[in-house]
Structure 1
Amino acid sequence: MTTEIRQAPMPSTELAEASTPLLVDATGFQNATDLLLNRLAEAPDHVAFDVRDAGAPVSGPWRPVSTREFAAQVRRLARGLIAAGIETGDSVGIMAATRYEWAVAEMACWFAGAVVVPIYDTSAAVQVRTIVADAAVRLGVAGSSEQADLLREALAEQAVGPLGVWTMDPAPGHDLDALAELGEAVSDELLEQRRTAADLDAVATIVYTSGTTAEPRGALITHRNFVLQVRNIAAAYTEVVKADGNTIIFLPLAHVLARGLQLVCLASGMRIAHLAEPKEVVPALAVLRPTFLVVVPRVLQKVQAAAAAAAASKHLGLVWTAAQNTAIAWGRFLEERQVVPDARPSPWLTARRRVFDRLFYSRLRGLLGGRIEYLLSGAASLDAELCRFFTGIGVPVVEGYGLTETTAPLTGNLPGSIRAGSVGVPMPGTTVRISPNGEVLARGVGVFAGYRNREANTDAFVDGFFRTGDLGELDAAGRLTLRGRSKDVIVTSGGKTVSPAAWEGSVEQNPLVAHAVLVGEGKPYLGGLILLDPESVNAWAQREGLAGAVKLSAPVDGGLVQVDDSRLVAAISRAVQAANAQLARSEQVRRFSLLIADLTEKGGMVTPTLKLKRAALLARVHDIVENLYRDPRSRR
């Protein structure tokens, strides 16, 4: 894959750009349903999914489902949708946790000519009502009876006649089997007519950005977006996406990244298993033994921290530290070898890695199932040293970057060309541009058709490029490095402009920290809010012999409290000082407060993918922030 770097002439300025040409086009594709049909023609009996029956443990049994079986279930449900009254272009809302039936329902909607409207299974009633009304949803597919009730209440308020709500969980007369039975008289000819009614430029899905409430921002993603993204990602990542590989999807399928990943795997023959509960992932790894996983950085931090804790419990803390440093050094060497192919590691480094591989690395790979070839990290910034650590133990981490509006991946590192700290080069068919103020702009096959609310498009595009709202820079090889969100930039009373990302990212590398937030807008200096991770704090207290004296439990119902334990303050102070040491004095934090909060989505301070809602947090901690500036006894 070749990435082109150029200086693009623009009025009164020149802006750095990086572009990657398409690897494959959409010739022969009517819409996204052809991703399934092409695979069906190639390998009908290949196992496409591993499915666990309701109520079965993680250990199984897991039932293999072939591409042929999946396609038959899709067609049967699509007939039911048509018989229920769905017309071409109608919207169908899907509200369910991540599960196999989600995949069937989505593809069935497209076979019936419908538009898919995903709704997070944890959404509040007001969010469900808002999305259903804005997208003009006519029929609902729910996971559980509780989710079905929310959809029914929302559909009852629709001006157009609702066509009912059907559940994935068994419910006689109201579940997906009952819906499919309605369509037994629908002919093959009518089904094919509906399947081919949408062309590549038709809307395939309306995805509402995280945190939607009274002002919906539904992103219109087309069949062309999906087809070109899926085909080109598969072509660019042949070492990762392959027919003899498998993965576990545990991200919410309402998120476009999980759905895009599912389509890439389905079209390429990579078998998929679904898990709704993150706590089930680790025990499932030994059973399903995936070759590839998509994770968030926090998962990798927890794996590393758990390894350190296990070593410490066996009085091998110093040995583990040496092993960790060796893995990072090996990761650096592998990066160097990408630039200098004949580079060789020192004999001492080679020997140390061989020893630590037997002691630690092989066991870590075993905990991941023993077959992991690559991890993909997204949704938040990944610390460069953490990336090198996993690469050094033999599990390369491919960091990427994208948004709902770019149909997930916009840029990504490539196998054999991973640069820690970077989110990689543009995806095939994509151009990334950096504006004069440092904002990342995007144009390409994955960029959506715009928002459903046309007024929202006014400031969303400039010169044909989508404005991501993120700050970044391109290096000489066209790799993008992110520098934070433009709307999060802080301007102190002294006029100093500071991007919070560097300080926050550094502090968040401490396993005790769930989130770090820099504050100081209009203030004389910078302060910090540090949200603790109760699970990690309690494990730390156990190791330190403080289990009885330090014990945290997360508040519920959106609660948030300050933590004043001196031992925790001392532990976090070291992380703050380390972060400050990397920055100019004007960018350093002078005072901070420790907090513990309800960090579930229902708490209102994180998105369904667990990104912190900065504005929601700051609205609740106004007095705490003010105390950082008026109380001389506040945290330093």
Structure 2
Amino acid sequence: MQESSTQLRVYLDSYRNVTDLLVRRASDAPEHAAFDVPAEKPGTWQQVTTEQFLDDVKVLAKGLIAADIAAGDTVAIMAPSRYEWAVADLAIWFAGGVVVPIYDTSSPVQVSAIVADAHVRLAVAGSATQAETLRSAFDETGAGALGVWVMDAAATGGETYTLAKLTARGNRVSDADLEHRRQSASLDDTATIVYTSGTTGEPKGAILTHRNFLGQVLNIAAAYREVVHPGGNTIIFLPLAHVLARGLQLICLASGMRIAHISDPKAVITNLPVLRPTFLVVVPRVLQKIRAAASAKAAGAGLSRMWDAASATAVEWGNHSEDRTAARASIGLRVKRACYDALFFRRLRAVMGGRVNYVLSGGAALEADLSLFFRGIGVPVIEGYGLTETTAPLTGNLPGNIRSGTVGLPLPGSTIRISAEGEILARGVGVFNGYRNPRHNEGAFVDGFFRTGDLGSLDADGRLVLCGRVKDVIVTSGGKTIVPMPWETTVEKSPLVSHAVMVGEGRSFLSALILLDPDETKAWALAEGITIEEPTGPDLTRVVDSRLRSHVQRVVNAANVRVAHSEQVRRFTLLSTDLGDSSLITPTLKIKRQVILERGSAVVDDLYR
């Protein structure tokens, strides 16, 4: 049984709860800019100091107390990522409450299930539509006795219940009363109940404590001082309902790193040259799209062969940079890299804002070549791994010690163990104690370790390598056990492929459902002079075009070469669908395999006729 551990760097003896992070930072650097927020003029931003943020948090917390929120009460937030989300998050903790984040894309059924299970007493919504969804859920479940309060009345049709009006109620709450309430929660009290987005099965409410958050924030900040520091800034465009985004926000807040929120991922590119972040957190698909866009632009200029050579040089440079025993790069490699830097890499860095020193990739496995490519162009990718149940990052590569193809060493205070069956087991400061529903805890732990449900291995240095999901393993009719991830990840390197899902449970050979990327497919079809219908709903639509199929066939063939014969896919079907459908795609852009297999059951059957 393999095991790898990293000792705790920061102890929590002097902390009461998460709110101490903001109080201490405001005391140390009250005038330091903590946030960039949209200004009145479109496309411009203004700064909010730590002291201003603390004031905003305090007045809203007083409003929550005046509205009859008691210590330990649950308060839901359903909104896209924005400054007011951050204010509400901390304000609920200042009022002694428990935060229940809800994805702003959640369906009414999901919202009703969450507010009922968490016994939500009050909710904060971002828009009138989200407010109506929450009100309907409250009416259906009998929860939400204290109502739904909307962040911005001007943008939501003049709502009666707004945060401004809730804040005004707090005038009768004294500073002493607020401070008493702020300190009401201890380290082992519940800070938040986060309902897993779930690629399979029903959502589960993971109970995360103040100790979980503080332990992660302080220790990760200590391990990544080169990345997260007062001189840097970042853009959070992942949903703040996701524990990774919230953890990052707290780390930045405690470390003095400025934060901007952008809820629309498509708006990130236009704001990068304005905000000029030093650090970004993305999912692998974002990095794939950045490289694909650069490749397409080079092709449009008739520079495909030169771009291919530049990409190979970047990977070569990335490999050399990761070899800590290597001598200085050869003169040939240095010259090639300098030339391609002038032609391509410098411009690509400029597209990312020109100041990005590091990118953190999480949410899914990152292809090693993609990591090496970005390292080679001068933007090292720090790949990490974690789950809701581990309060975000559990392992991570470190600046100056990155190994592409791995998700790094256990972070301070964490231990990773690989079971005899290859499952990743976790124990540590960020690992939760259990789910809200005791039924969900059955089989969730073994020997004090949380069972992640992921498959992995440890390299010679104790770094974790991801292999796939336990539930995704396929056993063919011939008794072969297949882990789909290596083949699927290779196919998904193609810009045209958004998701690849291998199938073959109980069958004599393997097949695949390949979901096309709508934007990339549209661009490809335009270049080829053909028309492919765009998806218009949640149904899976078969895409039948001989040229497109031939193109993807080459991608499939390349993936088959990289795996054993028994792991190769013989047949596949191209599909299109609405990839904004939250019932099919998680907020971190992972496919819900069980849903796709259910919706595509007829397609799968046809593959075996």
TM-score range, shorter chain: over 0.9
Aligned pair partner of 1:448 in 428, 432, 445: 432
Q: 1:117 aligned to 2:100?
A: yes
1:46 match: 32
Read off the aligned partner of 1:531 and give its amino acid letter.
L
Matched residues in 2 for 1:93 and 1:160: separation? 11
Structure 1 unaligned residues grouped into runs of 5+: 1-14, 631-636
Q: How many residues align?
A: 605
CA contact (8 A) 1:484 1:499 kept: yes
Task: Mark the CA change 1:186 to 1:175 in structure 2 (over 3 Å): closer, same or farther.
Answer: same
1:141 match: 124
1:348 match: 332
Paired residues for 1:230-629 under 5 Å: 230-336=217-323, 338=324, 340=325, 343-543=327-527, 546-547=528-529, 549-556=530-537, 558-602=538-582, 604-629=583-608
- Counting aligned pairs with the same residue, the percent is 60
Higher mean Cα deviation, 150-159 or 366-375? 150-159
Deviations 1:228-264 (A, max 9, x none): 1000000000110000100000000100000000000
CA contact (8 A) 1:518 1:527 kept: yes
Read off the aligned partner of 1:598 and give its amino acid letter.
D
Alpha-carbon offset, residue 124 of structure 1: 1.1
Structure 2 unaligned residues grouped into runs of 5+: none
Alpha-carbon offset, residue 167 of structure 1: 0.5
Q: 1:69 aligned to 2:52?
A: yes
CA contact (8 A) 2:37 2:48 kept: yes
Matched residues in 1 for 2:39 and 2:338: separation? 42
Task: Mark the CA change 1:334 to 1:161 in structure 2 (over 3 Å): closer, same or farther.
Answer: closer
Deviations 1:197-232 (A, max 9, x none): 000000000000114999441000000000010000
Superposition CA RMSD, Å: 1.3
Read off the aligned partner of 1:408 and give its amino acid letter.
A
Deviations 1:324-356 (A, max 9, x none): 1000000010011x2x0x522111111000100
CA contact (8 A) 2:128 2:159 kept: no
CA contact (8 A) 1:102 1:253 kept: yes
Alpha-carbon offset, residue 164 of structure 1: 1.4
Higher mean Cα deviation, 221-230 or 164-173? 164-173
Aligned pair partner of 1:189 in 161, 165, 176: 176
Matched residues in 1 for 2:52 and 2:477: separation? 64
Matched residues in 2 for 1:575 and 1:568: separation? 11
Matched residues in 2 for 1:451 and 1:409: separation? 18
CA contact (8 A) 2:60 2:91 kept: yes
Matched residues in 2 for 1:609 and 1:420: separation? 21
CA contact (8 A) 2:96 2:181 kept: yes
Read off the aligned partner of 2:601 and give its amino acid letter.
H
1:7 match: none
Task: Mark the CA change 1:26 to 1:567 in structure 2 (over 3 Å): closer, same or farther.
Answer: same
Give the secondary structure class of the aligned counterpart of 1:414. Answer: coil
Matched residues in 1 for 2:600 and 2:524: separation? 26
1:16 match: 2
Read off the aligned partner of 2:172 and give its amino acid letter.
A
CA contact (8 A) 1:601 1:608 kept: no
Matched residues in 2 for 1:261 and 1:189: separation? 30
Matched residues in 1 for 2:71 and 2:581: separation? 34
Deviations 1:577-629 (A, max 9, x none): 11110111111111111111111134x21112221000000001111111111
What TM-score, normalized by structure 1, do the two folds share?
0.93
Read off the aligned partner of 1:23 and give its amino acid letter.
R
Matched residues in 2 for 1:374 and 1:445: separation? 25
CA contact (8 A) 1:138 1:155 kept: no
Q: 1:85 aligned to 2:68?
A: yes
Read off the aligned partner of 1:40 and give its amino acid letter.
A
Alpha-carbon offset, residue 152 of structure 1: 1.6
CA contact (8 A) 1:537 1:552 kept: no
Read off the aligned partner of 1:36 and give its amino acid letter.
L
Deviations 1:495-550 (A, max 9, x none): 0000000100010001110000110000011111111112111222334xx23x13
Matched residues in 1 for 2:590 and 2:510: separation? 22
Alpha-carbon offset, residue 272 of structure 1: 0.2
Alpha-carbon offset, residue 404 of structure 1: 0.4
Task: Mark the CA change 1:122 to 1:160 in structure 2 (over 3 Å): closer, same or farther.
Answer: closer
Give the secondary structure class of the aligned counterpart of 2:360. Answer: strand
Matched residues in 2 for 1:213 and 1:188: separation? 46
Give the secondary structure class of the aligned counterpart of 1:137. Answer: coil
Matched residues in 2 for 1:251 and 1:431: separation? 27
Matched residues in 2 for 1:213 and 1:579: separation? 25
Read off the aligned partner of 1:587 and give its amino acid letter.
E
1:217 match: 204
1:165 match: 148
What TM-score, normalized by structure 2, do the two folds share?
0.98
Read off the aligned partner of 1:459 and give its amino acid letter.
G
Alpha-carbon offset, residue 174 of structure 1: 1.3
Q: 1:199 aligned to 2:186?
A: yes
Task: Mark the CA change 1:627 to 1:158 in structure 2 (over 3 Å): closer, same or farther.
Answer: closer
Matched residues in 1 for 2:28 and 2:382: separation? 29
Give the secondary structure class of the aligned counterpart of 1:107. Answer: helix
